[in-house]
Structure 1
């Protein structure tokens, strides 16, 4: 019985040793920087850094544009208020007196067409 238990323990130990060896080889391939998952992680990390910088730049540009837009909006509202005041003062002015248009009566407008002399033009032959 002891002999069978020792043989089973040795077989289990050999199985665990083979399993550890396979895991170590996979971990080595996983962590290499030139190829495998380590390289992919390094590339993705560099891309995340680039995107973070681009996002910060875009955020700065957007905040500057928002500030400019806000100042232009305030300026437009001020000008609109001034225009409303000017329009309100225009209603208080008296209307200008118009002179009556002359009555043409039965007279009709006449158009006269004159032909130009074509003697000075050369004929194309």
Structure 2
């Protein structure tokens, strides 16, 4: 690819489709309150890891949305999804955005608060 009229070569796929993350297990059982606290802490500090705040905001919106809406959000923000579970993404300028698994889904050993 190179000019506006070109088409992707066979096997060239820069546009991965988002998929639901695989199940994972936290080292010890974790409550929903603890998980929410970890997520809030990550999103509060994420812009300090580098990249653009607007991209972090788009990634958060995508993570909190269903899969089809998440795809629309990352596409409109110009996010390049390197891993279909969104653990590694890039913006159009090449900045890398890494999302931990605890942001993307719930662990299999989650303890629901009463």
Q: Identify the TM-score tier after normalising by the shorter chain.
A: under 0.3
Higher share of residues assigned strand: 2
TM-score, normalised via structure 1 length: 0.17
The alignment's TM-score, normalised by the length of structure 2, stands at 0.18
Q: Which has the higher contact order (CA 8 A, sep 6+)?
A: 2
Structure 1 or 2, whichever has the larger Rg, is 1
More helix by share: 1
